[in-house]
């Protein structure tokens, strides 16, 4: 059990206010992912929760008890960073079991626990190696194992995979999902700028923008029903296409958004543009179409499709799959 409550938290560094009155309730055992542009306050919020930063106002509670005024070490929260600081002169097993040694557990008990967690993280063959004899992914797993052995009630991860190569990131993503299943009562908060991580790992995603929570919801909820243009553009890759000016006015909106998979090229389309580029990605093709806005539209078509560069094409949203936004960027009901 570890329920977290962030209530009206603000944080300033000197005259720079980084978090603005943030309210957030996280259930016990939930996996919550923070996303948002660089500098929006994700790390600051995470560091405030574990106590590496003092908050300027508001309060933080765990299971109903206030924790923002107690020492970080007393909060029972473990944090895993992007750069995993392992002790270079200690073996993997010693690194992992360090907190248990400090608690003066008998050696054989420490070894048993280290072996159990080592197995869970597929580190069994490496327990007696020094960190320098491990790959980046293995070292990151040691850092995670060390955090697990502290038996925290809350786990915080700040972009833990961003230093790893793409293949390893995918592998570690699955490992972490498995870890979450193995620790059903442990609450986890995970910061990432990686779309795939956010969509595949989160029970709920928190979208932060300039120190304010823009929207909170399950991945599918944010994808299907973004409240704002910002969320609509932030969740989903390639980004949602935007129609502005007269292209949007015919829908009675300031901006109309259509996801790349919902854009179709069709002779009776309502929008017109010129094909500038086709990207064949294997399972699908991204067709780039220039128009009278700054960014080209992207259409995702299944399989291998070839349009000639320079072709003028007409486009429309598939089956009413489009979103309307007002001048403040708030989503408004679509005309039909
Ligand atoms: N120790 C600090 N002193 C002053 N400004 C800071 C400090 N840490 C972070 N900031 C500023 O706070 C803002 C939010 O930073 P951060 O929480 O690290 O963003 P994110 O993790 O979302 O990229 C940024 O503008 C950053 O420059
Ligand atoms: Mg950060």
Q: Which domains does the chain show, CATH number per domain? A: 4-231 (3.40.50.300), 238-332 (2.40.50.140)
Indicate if ligand 1 lies below 6 Å from the C-beta of 38: yes
- Relative to the alpha carbon of 14, which ligand is closest? 1
Cβ(273)–Cβ(298) below 8 Å: no
The CA angle 190-87-153, to the nearest 5 degrees, is: 35
Residue 96 alpha carbon to ligand 1 centre in Å: 30
The region, left, alpha or beta by phi > 0 then psi within -120 to 50, assigned to residue 101 is alpha
Q: Which long-range contacts (CB under 8 A, 24 or more apart) does 279-287 make?
A: 280/304, 280/305, 286/238, 286/260
Our measurement of the distance from residue 93's CA atom to the centroid of its chain's CA atoms, rounded to an integer in Å, reads 30
- Within 8 A by CB and 6+ apart from 280, the residues are 304, 305
Which residues pair with residue 272 across a beta bridge?
A: 314
Sheet strands side by side (includes 65-66): 16-26, 4-13, 57-62, 65-66
Residue 53 alpha carbon, nearest atom of ligand 1: 1
Residue 79 alpha carbon to ligand 2 centre in Å: 13
Which residues pair with residue 9 across a beta bridge?
A: 22
| All residues with CB under 5 Å from ion ligand 2 | 43
Give CA separation, 183 vs 84, 86, 241, in Å: 21, 23, 39
Per-residue pLDDT of the chain in tens (336 residues, 90 and over written 9): 799 999 999 999 999 999 999 999 999 999 999 999 999 999 999 999 999 999 999 999 999 999 999 999 899 999 887 667 899 999 999 999 999 999 999 999 999 999 999 988 889 999 999 999 998 888 988 998 998 898 899 999 999 888 778 887 888 888 888 888 888 889 999 999 888 899 999 999 999 999 999 999 999 999 999 999 999 999 998 999 999 999 999 889 999 999 999 999 999 999 999 999 999 999 999 999 998 777 899 999 999 988 899 999 999 999 889 999 999 999 999 876
Q: The dihedral of CA 289, 226, 62, 203: what is its sign?
A: negative
Indicate if ligand 1 lies below 6 Å from the C-beta of 54: no
User: In b/e form, how buried is each residue of 187-220, taking b as 16+ CB within 10 angstroms?
Assistant: bbbbbbebeebbbebbebbbbbbebebbbbbebe
- Relative to the alpha carbon of 211, which ligand is closest? 1
Give CA separation, 330 vs 209, 236, 326, in Å: 14, 18, 6
What DSSP state is assigned to residue 332? E
């Amino acid at each position: 059990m570890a329920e977290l409550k962030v209530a009206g938290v603000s944080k300033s560094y000197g005259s720079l206010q980084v978090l603005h009155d943030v309210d957030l309730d996280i259930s016990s055992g939930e996996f919550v992912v923070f996303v948002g542009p660089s500098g929006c306050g994700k790390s600051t919020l995470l560091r405030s929760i574990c106590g590496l930063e003092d908050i300027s106002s508001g309060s933080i509670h765990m299971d109903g008890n206030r924790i923002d005024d107690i020492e970080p070490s007393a909060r029972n929260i473990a944090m895993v960073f992007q750069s995993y600081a392992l002790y270079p002169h200690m073996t993997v097993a010693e690194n992992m079991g360090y907190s248990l040694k400090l608690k003066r557990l008998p050696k054989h008990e420490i070894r048993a626990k280290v072996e159990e967690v080592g197995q869970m993280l597929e580190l069994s063959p490496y327990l007696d190696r020094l960190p320098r004899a491990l790959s980046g992914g293995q070292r990151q797993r040691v850092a995670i194992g060390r955090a697990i052995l502290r038996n925290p009630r809350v786990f915080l991860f700040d972009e833990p995979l961003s230093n790893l190569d793409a293949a390893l990131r995918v592998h570690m993503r699955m490992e972490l999902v498995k870890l979450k299943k193995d620790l059903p009562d442990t609450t986890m908060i995970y910061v990432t700028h990686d779309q795939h991580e956010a969509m595949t790992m989160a029970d709920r995603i928190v979208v932060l923008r300039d120190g304010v929570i823009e929207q909170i919801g399950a991945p599918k909820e944010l994808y299907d029903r973004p409240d704002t243009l910002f969320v609509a553009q932030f969740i989903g890759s390639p980004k949602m296409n935007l129609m502005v000016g007269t292209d949007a006015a015919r829908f009675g909106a300031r901006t109309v958004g259509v996801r790349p998979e919902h854009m179709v090229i069709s002779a009776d389309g309502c929008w017109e543009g010129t094909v500038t580029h086709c990207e064949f990605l294997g399972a699908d093709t991204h067709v780039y179409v220039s128009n009278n806005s700054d960014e080209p539209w992207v259409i995702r078509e299944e399989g291998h499709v070839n349009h000639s560069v320079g072709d003028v094409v007409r486009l429309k949203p598939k089956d009413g799959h489009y979103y309307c936004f007002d001048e403040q960027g708030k989503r408004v009901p679509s005309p039909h």
